[in-house]
């Protein structure tokens, strides 16, 4: 019995130590998000872009995306819009074509967005179709008119890969869509902006990213194998010591899920993808970091630990609660009273989460009374990631379930203050 209690106490201390170091590392980097961000030097509008959009049953929203791309503040002869319908049972292709896009029919079986992009780049390589850069969007996006101009500046400035500012087109629909909006605004400010300010890599997060022709050909095309092709592609760039640049002047608007069931399904896929990526890339990243070749690799390795660290934190809390129930004391790291007051009680974690959400909204100039439900619900949104990660450790998501998009919003429908 004593050996068991000693082991539990040791595990609790070790888990809390690992999580505290992890949290402190990310907090220190996040502080750089309050620094002024660099601006890309304006360049002559000269780069040719291919815009690639994988689309599965997106008839409701694809037309609005294509229209926002047709009306870019960029010479029309310097870019082409390709919609790649796959596994469609509606008129996605017709809606996209009527709006002004070229249709690239997917002629191979595909199960995910990553496989669609693999097909598209393989097609371009085989047909010797070349552009200076390729911009990838999701079918539910809307794109700010200055997007291509901003990416042209980045490409002319030496960027080989770049991520745009991911905004939200429906933050006020439900508490869940509001939580997603806060989450992406937080990534924009305290992950991508902060890392850009200190010379680390931004992270590609699904949509609104650009890759140069030079890089994609060096990589032999777009080849990803996990459920999160965006994180995997970022990692492949990092292992080549290529930074994903942060281009906040390029802005997109994304449709967020409306209910918890949709959110649960999507985040299970994300967690599965992170765990797949951790198994596939963690050791190569650590070897790269240990060799001193790239400090980007160490930071990306830390990123992959996110779901594991959430589980570790949870296990530490469970062990502490069990031992406390039997009136047994267990030490956590650090052994200070303020640590217990801040991180042990659920009430304190709720207040910290709410405070973080409010700080994000104020910093990003997104604060609105319409967001109060999302702010209060944000704790549930974040904490629900713990059971998701626990489930994904034992039961992986193997099917790319479609998130149905129904908010047919045009760019002109968004309030001017949000554009």
The two structure tokens encoding residue 406: 């129904």
pLDDT at residue 332, rounded to an integer: 72
Q: For residues 399 and 264, what is the distance between their CA atoms, to the nearest angstrom? A: 14
State residue 393's pLDDT score.
84
Respond yes or no on whether the N-terminal peptide bond of residue 334 is cis (omega within 30° of 0).
yes
Instruction: Give the percent of the chain with pLDDT over 70.
Output: 90
For position 354, what pLDDT does the model report? 95
- Can you give the pLDDT at residue 251? 97
- Residue 355 confidence (pLDDT): 95
Tell me, what DSSP letter sits at residue 33? Answer: G
Any idea which of 52-61, 92-101, 289-298, 377-386 has the lowest mean pLDDT?
289-298
| 116 vs 402, residue with greater confidence | 116
Distance of alpha carbon 272 from alpha carbon 209, whole angstroms: 22
Q: Which CATH number goes with the domain that contains 57?
A: 3.90.550.10
pLDDT above 90 coverage of the chain, percent: 73
What's the pLDDT score for residue 290?
92
**DSSP per-residue codes, 365-377:** T---GGGHHHHHH
Question: Residue 120 — pLDDT band, cuts 50, 70, 90?
Answer: very high
The alpha helices in 305-384, defined as continuous H runs, are 306-325, 337-343, 346-363, 372-383
**pLDDT at site 214:** 97
Between 23 and 410, the more confident residue is: 23
> Cα–chain-centroid distance for residue 58?
21
Q: Over the stretch 331-342, which tens digit does the pLDDT of each residue have?
A: 777 766 555 555
Q: Is 60 exceeded by the pLDDT of residue 344?
A: no
Is the distance from CB of 384 to CB of 353 less than 8 angstroms? no
Full domain range(s) for residue 147: 1-419
Q: With 70 as the cut, is the pLDDT of residue 5 above it? A: no
pLDDT in the model for residue 315: 81
- pLDDT computed for residue 401 by the predictor: 65
Tokens 């951790």 belong to which residue?
A: 278
At residue 326 the predicted structure's pLDDT band, cuts being 50, 70 and 90, is confident
69 vs 54: CA distance, rounded Å: 15
**13-17, 85-89, 119-123, 129-133: least confident range:** 13-17
pTM: 0.93
pLDDT in the model for residue 399:
65
Number of domains in the chain: 1
Closest C-alpha among 74, 93, 69 to residue 83: 93
What pLDDT shows up at residue 346?
Answer: 64
User: What pLDDT, in 10s, does the model give residues 187-235?
Assistant: 999 999 999 999 999 999 889 999 999 999 999 999 999 999 999 999 9
User: Worst-scoring range by mean pLDDT, 6-10, 175-179, 204-208, 365-369?
Assistant: 6-10
Q: What is the pLDDT of residue 178?
A: 97
As a whole number of Å, the CA-based R_g of the chain is 22
CA angle 211, 194, 201 (to 5 degrees): 30
Cα–Cα distance for residue pair 40/68, rounded to 1 Å: 23
What pLDDT score was predicted for residue 335? 65
CB of 202 closer than 8 Å to CB of 195: yes
């Amino acid at each position: 019995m004593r050996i068991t209690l000693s082991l539990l106490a040791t595990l609790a201390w070790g888990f809390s130590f690992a999580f505290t170091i992890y949290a402190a590392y990310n907090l220190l980097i996040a502080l750089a998000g309050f620094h002024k961000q660099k601006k890309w030097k304006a360049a002559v509008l000269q780069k040719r872009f291919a815009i690639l959009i994988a689309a599965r049953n997106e008839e409701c929203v694809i037309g609005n995306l294509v229209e926002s791309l047709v009306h870019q503040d960029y010479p029309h002869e310097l870019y082409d819009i390709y919609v790649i319908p796959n596994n469609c049972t509606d008129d996605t292709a017709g809606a996209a074509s009527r709006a002004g896009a070229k249709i690239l029919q997917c002629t191979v079986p595909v199960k995910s967005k990553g496989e669609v992009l693999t097909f598209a780049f393989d097609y371009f390589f085989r047909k010797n179709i070349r552009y200076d850069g390729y911009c990838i969007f999701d079918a539910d996006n809307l794109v700010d008119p200055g997007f291509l101009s901003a990416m042209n500046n980045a490409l002319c400035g030496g960027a080989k890969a770049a991520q745009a500012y991911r905004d939200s087109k429906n933050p006020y629909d439900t508490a869940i869509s509001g939580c997603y909006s806060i989450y992406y605004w937080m990534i924009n400010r305290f992950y991508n902006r902060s890392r850009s300010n200190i010379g680390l890599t931004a992270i590609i997060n699904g949509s609104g990213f650009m890759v140069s022709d030079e890089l994609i050909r060096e990589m032999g095309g777009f080849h990803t194998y996990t459920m999160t092709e965006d994180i995997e592609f970022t990692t492949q760039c990092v292992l080549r010591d290529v930074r994903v640049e942060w281009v906040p002047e390029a802005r997109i608007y994304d449709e967020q899920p409306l209910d918890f069931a949709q959110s649960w399904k999507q985040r299970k896929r994300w967690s599965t993808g992170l765990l797949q990526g951790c198994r596939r890339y963690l050791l190569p990243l650590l070897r790269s970091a240990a060799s001193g070749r790239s400090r980007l690799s160490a930071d990306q390795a830390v990123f992959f630990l996110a779901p594991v660290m959430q589980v570790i934190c949870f296990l530490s809390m469970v062990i502490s609660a069990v031992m406390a129930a039997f009136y047994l004391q267990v030490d956590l790291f650090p052994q200070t009273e303020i640590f217990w007051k801040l991180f042990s009680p659920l009430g304190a974690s709720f207040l910290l989460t709410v405070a973080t959400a409010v700080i994000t909204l104020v910093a990003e100039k997104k604060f609105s009374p319409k967001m109060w439900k999302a702010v209060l619900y944000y704790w549930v949104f974040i904490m629900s990631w713990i059971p998701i990660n626990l489930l994904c450790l034992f039961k992986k998501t193997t099917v790319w379930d479609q998130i149905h998009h129904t908010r047919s919003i045009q760019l002109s429908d968004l309030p001017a203050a949000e554009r």
